[in-house]
A and B are shown apart, each in its own frame.
Chain A
Amino acid sequence: MTIGGWLFMIGSLAFVWGLAGWCFVRILRGPNASETPQASNGSSGPGAMILVLLVGLVSGATPASSQVTARDSNQAVASDQGVPGPLQFDFMIGEWDVVYRSFDVETGELKQELKAVQKARYVNNRSMIVDEWASYDPDTGDQVTYGLTLRSYAEETGKWYHNYLRAGDPTGGSRFNGEWRDGVMHAEGAALIPGGRTLRFRLKFYEIEADSFKWMEEWSIDDGATWHLAKTQDVKRR
Chain B
Amino acid sequence: MSVQRDQWTSRLGVVLAVSGSAVGLGNFLRFPGQAAANGGGAFLIPYFLGLILLGIPICWAEWTMGRYGGAKGFHSAPGILGVIGKGRWARYLGVSGTLIPLGVSFYYTFIAAWCLGYFVAYLTGSMPIDPSQAITAQTAASSAFYQDFVGAGRNGFWFGVGPVPTIAFWAVAFGINVFLILRGLSKGIERFVTLAMPMMAVCAAVVLIRVLTLGTPDPAVPEQNVMAGLAFMWNPDFAALSNPQTWLAATGQIFFSVSVGFGVIINYASYVRRDEDVALSGLTAAATNEVFEVGFGGLITVVASFVFLGLSGTIGAVSTGQFGLGFQTLPVVFAQMGAIGPFVGGLWFFMLFLAALTSTLSMYQPVVAFFQEALGVDRRRATVFMVAVCLVGSFMVVYYTAGGVFWNTIDFWIGTFLIHIVAMIEIVCFSWVLGIDKGWDELHRGAEMRVPRGFRFIMKWVAPTYLSVILLAFCATSLPASVRQVTQQPLALLALTLIAAVIVLLLVCVRIGEVRWRRMGLDLDGRFGLSAEVPEAQSLGARTPGSSSSIPHTPPVEKDHP
Question: In the docked arrangement, what's the CA distance between A173 and B283, Å?
Answer: 51
- Other-chain contact of B294, A12, A102, A123, A174 (Cβ < 8 Å): A12
> How distant is B506 from chain A, measured CB to nearest CB, in Å?
22
- Other-chain contact of B3, A19, A93, A105 (Cβ < 8 Å): A93
Question: In the docked arrangement, what's the CA distance between A111 and B558, Å?
Answer: 13
Question: In the docked arrangement, what's the CA distance between A9 and B227, Å?
Answer: 12
Q: A19 — which chain B residues lie within 8 A by C-beta?
A: 283, 287, 290
Question: In the docked arrangement, what's the CA distance between A231 and B196, Å?
Answer: 48
> How distant is A25 from chain B, measured CB to nearest CB, in Å?
10
Q: Which residue of B lies closest to A128 (CB)?
A: B537
Beta-carbon contacts under 8 Å, B528-562 to A: 528-532, 534, 536-538, 540-541, 543, 545-562
Beta-carbon contacts under 8 Å, A135-150 to B: 135, 144-145, 147, 149
Does the CB pair A125–B529 fall under 8 Å? Answer: yes
> How distant is A232 from chain B, measured CB to nearest CB, in Å?
11
Q: A191 — which chain B residues lie within 8 A by C-beta?
A: 548-553
Does the CB pair A169–B554 fall under 8 Å? Answer: yes
B7 within 8 A of A: yes
Question: In the docked arrangement, what's the CA distance between A124 and B236, Å?
Answer: 59
Q: A231 — which chain B residues lie within 8 A by C-beta?
A: 557
Q: In the complex where A17-B295, A84-B71, A191-B550 touch, is A38 in contact with B231 (Cβ < 8 A)?
A: no
Question: In the docked arrangement, what's the CA distance between A6 and B235, Å?
Answer: 8
Among A17, A126, A173: residue with most chain B CB under 10 A: A126
Q: A27 — which chain B residues lie within 8 A by C-beta?
A: 11-12, 15, 280-281, 284, 448
Beta-carbon contacts under 8 Å, B290-313 to A: 290-291, 293-295, 298-299
B104 within 8 A of A: no
> How distant is A223 from chain B, measured CB to nearest CB, in Å?
13
Residue tally, chain A, CB below 8 Å to B: 112
Chain B interface extent, by class: 35 or more
B218 within 8 A of A: no
Tell me the interface secondary structure of chain A in the complex.
mixed
Question: In the docked arrangement, what's the CA distance between A116 and B281, Å?
Answer: 46
A206 within 8 A of B: no
B403 within 8 A of A: no
> How distant is B138 from chain A, measured CB to nearest CB, in Å?
28
Q: Which residue of A lies closest to B7 (CB)?
A: A82
B9 within 8 A of A: yes
Question: In the docked arrangement, what's the CA distance between A39 and B16, Å?
Answer: 14
Does the CB pair A33–B11 fall under 8 Å? Answer: yes
Beta-carbon contacts under 8 Å, A222-238 to B: 228, 230-231, 233
Beta-carbon contacts under 8 Å, A100-145 to B: 100, 102, 105-106, 111, 114, 116, 118, 121-128, 130-131, 133, 135, 144-145
B426 within 8 A of A: no
Q: A177 — which chain B residues lie within 8 A by C-beta?
A: 545-547
Does the CB pair B562–A221 fall under 8 Å? Answer: yes
Beta-carbon contacts under 8 Å, A1-55 to B: 1-2, 4-9, 12-13, 15-17, 19-20, 23-24, 26-28, 30-36, 38-39, 42-44, 46-48, 50-51, 54
Q: B528 — which chain A residues lie within 8 A by C-beta?
A: 124-125
A199 within 8 A of B: yes
Does the CB pair B287–A44 fall under 8 Å? Answer: no
Question: In the docked arrangement, what's the CA distance between A46 and B187, Å?
Answer: 15
B195 within 8 A of A: yes
Question: In the docked arrangement, what's the CA distance between A181 and B541, Å?
Answer: 19
Question: In the docked arrangement, what's the CA distance between A231 and B562, Å?
Answer: 12
Beta-carbon contacts under 8 Å, A71-87 to B: 79, 82-84, 86-87
10 A-B Cβ contacts within 8 A? A4-B236, A26-B448, A28-B12, A38-B186, A50-B202, A91-B3, A122-B73, A155-B537, A156-B541, A164-B556
Q: A90-B4, A126-B531, A219-B562 are in contact. List 12 more A-B contacts (CB 8 A).
A: A1-B234, A2-B231, A26-B280, A43-B13, A44-B194, A94-B1, A116-B556, A125-B534, A154-B540, A155-B532, A174-B555, A191-B551
Interface residues of B (CB under 8 A from A): 1-5, 7, 9-13, 15-16, 40-42, 44, 48, 71-73, 186-187, 190-191, 193-199, 201-202, 205, 227-228, 230-231, 233-236, 273-274, 276-277, 280-281, 283-284, 287-288, 290-291, 293-295, 298-299, 376, 378-379, 446, 448-449, 519-523, 527-532, 534, 536-538, 540-541, 543, 545-562
- Give me the 9 closest cross-chain CB pairs, A-B, nearest first: A8-B41, A125-B528, A156-B541, A50-B198, A210-B378, A44-B194, A23-B284, A122-B521, A174-B553
